């Protein structure tokens, strides 16, 4: 799903909201998450997952075309860890909390 599809789906589910307002909210959320990751903060969305920045060390790599060795600089990358709820949903497992039986 791309951003415009997300906005369209939210608009379908909420016909009382203008699409421009939904777009502004989605862009604000994404910008806020990007800013937090740029500051190396962890972003956690309960029930969905967590995004965090991981540092990758410099290393020696290989050019696949020529076989020549090349130096790859250190860099940061974003890692996503799915939450329990979404992981279970992807695997078709029901994770709703079980109700306790009433005692007599």
Q: What's the average model confidence in pLDDT over 49-54? A: 97
User: What is the pTM assigned to this prediction?
Assistant: 0.74
Work out the percent of the chain whose per-residue pLDDT is above 70: 90
Helix 19-38 and helix 3-13: axis angle, to 10°? Answer: 130
Order of strands, edge to edge, in the sheet holding 49-56?
A: 43-45, 49-56, 75-82
Instruction: Map out the domains of the chain as residue ranges.
Output: 1-39, 41-94
Query: What CATH code is assigned to 41-94?
Result: 4.10.520.10
Tokens of 30: 């994404």
Give per-residue pLDDT as tens, 15-34. Answer: 999 999 999 999 999 999 99
- Please provide the distance, in angstroms rounded to a whole number, between the alpha carbons at the two ends of the chain: 50
Long-range contacts at 6-13 (CB < 8 A, ≥ 24 apart):
none
């Amino acid at each position: 799903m791309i951003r415009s599809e997300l906005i369209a789906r939210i608009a379908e589910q909420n016909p009382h909201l203008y699409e421009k307002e939904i777009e502004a909210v989605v862009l604000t959320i994404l910008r806020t998450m990007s800013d937090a990751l740029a500051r190396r903060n962890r972003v956690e969305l309960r029930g969905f997952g967590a995004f965090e920045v991981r540092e990758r060390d410099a290393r020696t790599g290989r050019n696949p075309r020529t076989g020549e060795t090349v130096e790859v600089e250190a860099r940061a990358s974003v890692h996503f860890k799915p939450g329990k709820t979404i992981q279970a949903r992807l695997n078709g497992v029901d994770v709703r909390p079980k109700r306790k039986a009433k005692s007599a």
